[in-house]
Structure 1
Amino acid sequence: MSSAALPDTLDLAAIRARHTLLLLNRLWQGDRARVDLARELGLSRSAISSIVTELLEAGLVQEVGPRLSGCAGGQGSGGKSGSGQVGRRATLLALNARAAALLAVDLGASHARVDLLDLRCTTLASRTAQHDILRGPAATYALLSRLARAVLAEAGVPREQVAGVGAGVPGPVDHATGCVVQPPNMPGWDGENVMAGLEEALGLPTRVDNDANLGALAETRFGAHRGASDLIYVKAATGIGAGVLLGGRLHRGVRGGAGEIGHISINEQGPVGRSGNPGSLESYAAAQVLVETARTRRAAGTPSTLPDPLTLADLLAHAGTDPLARAVWAEAGHHLGVAISTALNLFNPSAVVIGGRLAQAGEVFLHPLRESALSRTMRINAGGTRIDLSTLGADAGVLGAGAMLLDHLFTPLGLRHLYRVAGSGRGPPQTPSAAPLPLPHSPGGTL
């Protein structure tokens, strides 16, 4: 082979891989016939048939029968050809969502959850346990390993069929190393390489990211604002963090610390929060601060029917009915809105989605938040922006972990791994000298 021919060969392989991924993404969105794929992707029927044949043999795609009702397609679509002749009903193709499985880990300050997902991120089995993250990495990995074994056993899925593990943690993650860095709400975890720890505990390749980043991925793929390319997801719970999606991509910053909205100072003369910064948002609106505020105010005489001692669960359950609870949530919403206005003026997103446990307070929390944020935002940045509560609830973490894995499996390198997990032993066309590749990793443990 001449040196001049080599780039052409590499380009052709890359183009075919790209077309394969485009086709898989279309089938992830919904069933389609070959004729539909040819039209939508601008490829010839023969090119589509070649790729589909490969995917059928790999087990990633399956035929699910003829199109049931009339569709204004061309010949083979169940309609008429250009010559007026009636053609065969087109055979619909579907992504085989059970060709591989994903393990999704949602780790919080007081809970651990592991879900086994299919390739559409539908839960096949789920386990949740109360867990204090202050117990440290070793105890946490041991618990996650037990939960993972339980979901695999319940679903009857062998470990070899799992394409990877995605995990969200409630602290800043260095994207280049996979380590958590000075996590305010995870004492004892500073410098811990969570990716390596989980890989050793679970025996599977792993990706790790901040839980708010995963919330943003979940919202844009599965939430009410699905498809949004500029979106901010705010997770408000024990800590407060934000996942920032710009131009369809997560904005992580140089090391992965972007989005730490909880440590923005909203009052430079205010109390010191967990990060050590005076007047940070978390020193006013984090979960435990709200509980302490409510207890202090009741002791000072504010009327309330809440139990004594009150808890966050009490504040949430009576958010709209108890006068003390209403006042606490209104004030918390106001403070969070002040911080969100800064994000609106910086990034001008189409949507801000509020998730995490504090979002369960509902409108009594959301209304003052909106009012506070939008009144402090320039009109050009406020006019087209929606501020809503998440509709994904407690599933945001595992859905975000699944979305993170899909984003990396649906790449040329990830696709080769997906072929192998599906058990075919075949991969997308590659250069003759290319050897089978291991599951792709970056220094941060990416698939």
Structure 2
Amino acid sequence: MNDRAALDLLLEHGPLSRTRIGELTGLSKPTASQLLGRLETAGLVRTTGTVSGGPGPNAQLYEVDPSTGYVAALDVDPDGITAVVADITGRHVGEHHVVADAEGRTATLVTEAVDGALAAAGLRRADLRRTVIGTPGALDPHTGKLRYAPHLPGWHSRTLRDDLAGALGTPVVIENDVNLAAIAEQRRGAAQGCEDFVLLWADEGVGAAIVLGGNLLRGATGGAGEVGYMPMPGAPLARGGPESTCGPDGGGGFQRLVSAPGVLGLAHIHGFHPKTVAEALELALSTPGEGDAVLDELAHRLATGLAAVIAVVDPELVVLSGSVPQAGGERLRALVEAELTGLALPLPRLRMSAVEGSPILIGALQSALADARDAVFDTS
């Protein structure tokens, strides 16, 4: 326990002296010295310069040895796969992107992405301790099959996770991409310190991550939070079932209304003809009249879907994430909040995502690092 406490302090604060580690842990100087000697012998810490502490010799500084382990995080979408490799301290050391192909060569593309990121860092597969892959949809814990993701050809084998683990030579976790965005938000973003929150992701697809008591709610088949399929007035229902394995993912009512394609359709109704959701909402924000109508309708749609979630979950906080809320910014957030105000429902705090960079990759790295550190830092 003392070893792990010291390692966590070094990760949090950076290089520390023996005296400072003793102060932060409450250990005596002899015990702190024994601890650091043990960790240094195990190859988990290394010396890294000195610091002046007043009269007498300078104090030796210690840090976690970043080469004790590496992890890989992957973000998968219909266009391709992005892989990032980080050392045990969380520092990014390599990144690589591969474009998807029509044949759905899943294992080949995953290993190509990981190998490219490893090569950029001068590493090999044997250096990896954990791999976490973020995908749309959800892995059914009973069957091992990816559900709710018909637009990912090649990702629906029941042995997918074992196949990828065998190819990469590391334990592999396949996690819903929106769940990973919520992990990133809880560790680094707007949900820090919050135990009960919902993250609504509105992008090309729409989904939610539900965190209750600090834990992700997954559901019996892993599909908790698949709100893109939620029935909504004025939009058709999705057909084909969550086991569907081919074709586009049109989602259900909610996704048709608030996804990036849905926002483009709304913009067209009001006389705008943008090519991207960012352009659509930029035009809406800068054009009084018709632009206001676009924003008001989008806020109404978002609030209607959120009201259903809030009525069931009663979260303390709702975080808006993905390209649609990002493009709408604070004005869209305020309009959604106004739509929710006055309803006969609890009114949670409503915040924009505060994660810089890719929330999915950041969440995947945080998840992979947590598992890898538990394994690497175990000195028992």
TM-score, shorter chain, exceeding 0.5: yes
Question: Is this contact kept in 2: 1:169–1:208, CA < 8 A?
Answer: yes
Q: TM-score scaled to structure 1, two decimals?
A: 0.71
CA RMSD across the alignment: 3.2
Question: Is this contact kept in 2: 1:62–1:95, CA < 8 A?
Answer: yes
Instruction: Provide the rounded CA distance (Å) in 1 between the counterparts of 2:160 and 2:338.
Output: 39
Partner of residue 7, structure 1: none
Question: Is this contact kept in 1: 2:136–2:148, CA < 8 A?
Answer: no
The offset of 1:148, in angstroms, is 1.8
Deviates more, 1:241-250 or 1:88-97: 88-97
Partner of residue 371, structure 2: 408
SS at match of 1:195: helix
Name the CA shift for 1:330/1:33 in 2 (closer, same or farther; >3 Å). Answer: farther
The offset of 1:210, in angstroms, is 0.3
Instruction: Provide the rounded CA distance (Å) in 1 between the counterparts of 2:72 and 2:216.
Output: 21
Question: Is this contact kept in 2: 1:114–1:126, CA < 8 A?
Answer: yes
Greater percentage in strand: 2
1:109 and 2:78 aligned:
yes
Instruction: Provide the rounded CA distance (Å) in 2 between the counterparts of 1:331 and 1:374.
Output: 16
Instruction: Provide the rounded CA distance (Å) in 2 between the counterparts of 1:95 and 1:319.
Output: 49
1:21 and 2:4 aligned:
yes
Partner of residue 246, structure 2: none
Deviates more, 1:317-326 or 1:27-36: 317-326
The offset of 1:318, in angstroms, is 3.4
Structure 1 counterpart of 2:261, one-letter code: Q
Instruction: Provide the rounded CA distance (Å) in 2 between the counterparts of 1:407 and 1:354.
Output: 25
Partner of residue 198, structure 2: 232
1:99 and 2:82 aligned:
no
1:52 and 2:36 aligned:
yes
Question: Is this contact kept in 1: 2:138–2:147, CA < 8 A?
Answer: yes
Partner of residue 45, structure 2: 61
Instruction: Provide the rounded CA distance (Å) in 2 between the counterparts of 1:181 and 1:187.
Output: 12
Question: Is this contact kept in 1: 2:144–2:160, CA < 8 A?
Answer: yes
1:260 and 2:211 aligned:
no
Name the CA shift for 1:223/1:58 in 2 (closer, same or farther; >3 Å). Answer: farther
Unaligned runs of 5+ in 1: 1-17, 69-77, 80-85, 420-426, 430-447
User: Any idea what the Cα deviations from partners look like across 1:271-306, whole Å, max 9, x if unmatched?
Assistant: 2136779973113112223333444x2xxxx333x3
Name the CA shift for 1:19/1:253 in 2 (closer, same or farther; >3 Å). Answer: farther
Name the CA shift for 1:54/1:312 in 2 (closer, same or farther; >3 Å). Answer: same
Partner of residue 286, structure 1: 259
Partner of residue 433, structure 1: none
Instruction: Provide the rounded CA distance (Å) in 2 between the counterparts of 1:176 and 1:87.
Output: 63
SS at match of 1:121: coil
The offset of 1:312, in angstroms, is 3.8
Partner of residue 248, structure 2: none
The offset of 1:192, in angstroms, is 4.3
Q: How many residues align?
A: 369
Deviates more, 1:207-216 or 1:347-356: 347-356
Name the CA shift for 1:53/1:351 in 2 (closer, same or farther; >3 Å). Answer: farther
Deviates more, 1:152-161 or 1:324-333: 324-333
The offset of 1:184, in angstroms, is 5.1
Structure 2 counterpart of 1:280, one-letter code: G
The offset of 1:194, in angstroms, is 3.6
Question: Is this contact kept in 1: 2:115–2:124, CA < 8 A?
Answer: no
Instruction: Provide the rounded CA distance (Å) in 2 between the counterparts of 1:148 and 1:89.
Output: 42
Instruction: Provide the rounded CA distance (Å) in 1 between the counterparts of 2:63 and 2:356.
Output: 25
1:120 and 2:93 aligned:
no
Name the CA shift for 1:188/1:402 in 2 (closer, same or farther; >3 Å). Answer: closer
1:212 and 2:178 aligned:
yes
Question: Is this contact kept in 1: 2:189–2:353, CA < 8 A?
Answer: no
Partner of residue 372, structure 1: 339
SS at match of 1:40: helix
Please give the residue correspondences for 1:5-404 in structure 2 after superposition, counting only pairs within 5 Å: 18-31=1-14, 32-68=16-52, 78=53, 89-131=58-100, 135=102, 137-138=104-105, 140-175=106-141, 178-183=144-149, 185-186=151-152, 189-190=155-156, 192-267=158-233, 270-273=235-238, 280-295=253-268, 297=269, 302-304=270-272, 306=273, 310-312=275-277, 314-316=279-281, 318-322=283-287, 327-363=293-329, 364-376=331-343, 378-379=345-346, 381-382=347-348, 385-393=349-357, 395-404=358-367
Structure 2 counterpart of 1:169, one-letter code: T
Q: TM-score scaled to structure 2, two decimals?
A: 0.83
Question: Is this contact kept in 2: 1:105–1:166, CA < 8 A?
Answer: yes
Instruction: Provide the rounded CA distance (Å) in 2 between the counterparts of 1:349 and 1:293.
Output: 29
The offset of 1:348, in angstroms, is 4.5
Structure 2 counterpart of 1:27, one-letter code: L
Question: Is this contact kept in 2: 1:370–1:387, CA < 8 A?
Answer: no
